[in-house]
Amino acid sequence: METLDILIFGAHPDDAEIGMGGTIAKHTAAGLRVGICDLTLAEMSSNGTVESRKKEAEAAAEVLKLAMRSNLEMPDRGLYLTPEHVERIVLEIRKWKPRLVFAPYWEDRHPDHIACSKLVQEAVFNAKLRRYMPEVPAHTVGESYFYFINDIVEPGVMVNVTDVYEQKTAALRAYRTQFEAVGNDAVQTPLTQGYLERVEARDKLLGQKRSLPFAEGFISKLPYLTEQF
């Protein structure tokens, strides 16, 4: 089985697209193998169904040309820091052996995003321990980065996503049941009330410091390492 260059974790299908859809599009266009692992099916979302969300996630994966998209089907609103949840994420990391792992930024108004961030950090650490689940070979992730969903802080790294911004928008628009109140039983939520416009405004604002039309921001817990500038 082919490995991945980049493995991105999200609590819900659409998290990775919100935070880094443009960065994904740039890397897949450059020939890198990028995958997304969603921890839950987002069954607690007020709009849409698990089935519609699955189809939307597949459509977004096609837009972004993902090499892989998986779902661990953990309980939505039940992403507690348990040994079992950590183990399942470790297995996913060891299976795909990514050089880079991305997770949601560790502060966010949605507790599941915080939980996902924490679980992935624990799993990245454990994945390299050969005596942790010794039946599956250990894997050391090169670097971990965090992307923004709702909350933002000053990014440490940014990616110029101007030339792929339409692809990001198309990937997000794939989640129609989330961002538009479609159907008779749909209700208004923070997502249906201009959420995508806010994401676009955020990406514009992030670009401002570098005079870029659009950028996505990332943060790392470790300093950026280089041999030479």
**Which stretches of the chain bind Zn ion, using CB under 5 A?**
11-12, 15
Residue 104 Cβ, how far from Zn ion at the closest point, in Å? 8
Q: Concatenate the DSSP letters of all residues of the chain into one string.
A: ----SEEEEESSTTHHHHHHHHHHHHHHHTT--EEEEEEE--TT-SSS-HHHHHHHHHHHHHHHT-SEEEEEEEPTT-----HHHHHHHHHHHHHH--SEEEEE-S--SSHHHHHHHHHHHHHHHHHT-TTSSTTS-----SEEEEE-SS-----SEEEE-GGGHHHHHHHHHT-HHHHS--STT----TTTTTHHHHHHHHHHHHHHTTT-S-EEEEE-SS----S--
Residue 180 Cβ, how far from Zn ion at the closest point, in Å? 17
- Our CB check for Zn ion shows the closer of 127 and 174 to be 174
Distances (CA, A) of 209 to 34, 138, 154, 229: 28, 40, 10, 20
Tokens of 194: 């201009």
Bridge partner residues of 9 (DSSP): 37
- Our CB check for Zn ion shows the closer of 29 and 44 to be 44
- Our CB check for Zn ion shows the closer of 12 and 202 to be 12
- Our CB check for Zn ion shows the closer of 103 and 127 to be 103
Residue 110 Cβ, how far from Zn ion at the closest point, in Å? 6
Residue 228 Cβ, how far from Zn ion at the closest point, in Å? 38
Residue 112 Cβ, how far from Zn ion at the closest point, in Å? 6
- Our CB check for Zn ion shows the closer of 15 and 216 to be 15
- Our CB check for Zn ion shows the closer of 12 and 85 to be 12
Residue 149 Cβ, how far from Zn ion at the closest point, in Å? 6
| Nearest position to Zn ion, beta carbon | 12
